[in-house]
Structure 1
Amino acid sequence: MYDLRHTCLTNWLNDGVPPAQVTDWAANGVPVLLSTYARCIVGQLDDLKTRIEAAGDCAIWDMVTSETRSSATISVA
């Protein structure tokens, strides 16, 4: 039964159902849902980038992603 629930929640998230709605249906909190299922969400990045570009937020996107990349860089001495 739990595997069926996991599959259903993962499919809803992958289909673009907002996490807040999925938590209402699943009786979970958003932090619990995302800590469990965030790694299962796939295939939405291109759509999200397109929506960001259409909204004109490209400069903010570039700034945020470049800061993320630079903070994730590990230098080896």
Structure 2
Amino acid sequence: MTLKQQVEEQIKESLKKGDKLRLSTLRFLLSAIKNEEIAKQREATDEDVVAVVQRQVKQRLESIEAFQKGGRKDLEQKER
């Protein structure tokens, strides 16, 4: 099973369990993976998925830092 397929399965599990935060996060990740596939015009490999996850983590950390500097505790907590 590829990493993309695992994300899709985890989305289904989160739907069944009603875990809204996890569901939202996984949907956002799947969207980023699909955008990568569109950009590369091919199915994402596991390496592509890992790269997407790393980029997303980096973006989230940068957002948290920016919210901290801007004094936006509400957005900082939401991003965590």
TM-score, normalized by length of structure 2? 0.30
**Highest CA radius of gyration, 1 or 2?**
1
Q: Which one has the bigger helix percentage?
A: 2
